[in-house]
Amino acid sequence: MNAPDCPSSGVSAIDEHLLSFFQDGVRMLGLPKSLGEIYGVLFASPTPLTMHDLVTRLGISKGSASQGLKTLRTLGAVREVDYKDDRKTYFQADVELKKLVGGFIREEIRPHLQSGKHKLQNLHTEAQKIDDPELREFYDERIERLERWSRKANLVLPLLQKFLGE
């Protein structure tokens, strides 16, 4: 298979709408805007693109494109596509929802929940140091609420992954 032809600049109106859609999506998840832009361009492209194509189309630095692609690969949102007659590496959006959600849960949510367990233990320790019984009771209740939320999240995530076929 030959390397795809790729326009060097400009995006159509539909591409801009797709870009905006993914920019909003990553913003909701607290991820960098450039991730949404890179994924959006790859999602909108009928052919795989090189990093140079992304840099040119988005007007971002090579370092930003490289870091964004690395993150998106880790999340399972982008995959590399090699061509026999071309030494360049091409990238393509993975469009399977279960992979996208599964990668986000694995790489972003689970580590946060794990670190949250340690933070909750620290909160318990600090709450025990409070001399005022009413204030200590207040913080104990809040910490217990956080623990319930954490337990629920740990129950829901596997169900969500199973629902999506992960």
Each residue's pLDDT tens digit, 95-154: 876 777 777 777 777 887 788 888 888 888 999 999 999 999 998 999 999 889 888 888
Residue 89: beta bridge partners? 82
Residue 164: its pLDDT value, please? Answer: 65
Residue 67: its pLDDT value, please? Answer: 94
Residue 141: its pLDDT value, please? Answer: 92
Residue 160 has pLDDT above 50, yes or no: yes
Q: Please tell me whether residue 6 adopts helix, strand or coil conformation.
A: coil
- Counting Cα atoms < 13 Å in the Cβ hemisphere of 108 gives 16
Q: Please state, in angstroms and rounded to a whole number, the distance separating the CA atoms of residues 123 and 145.
A: 12
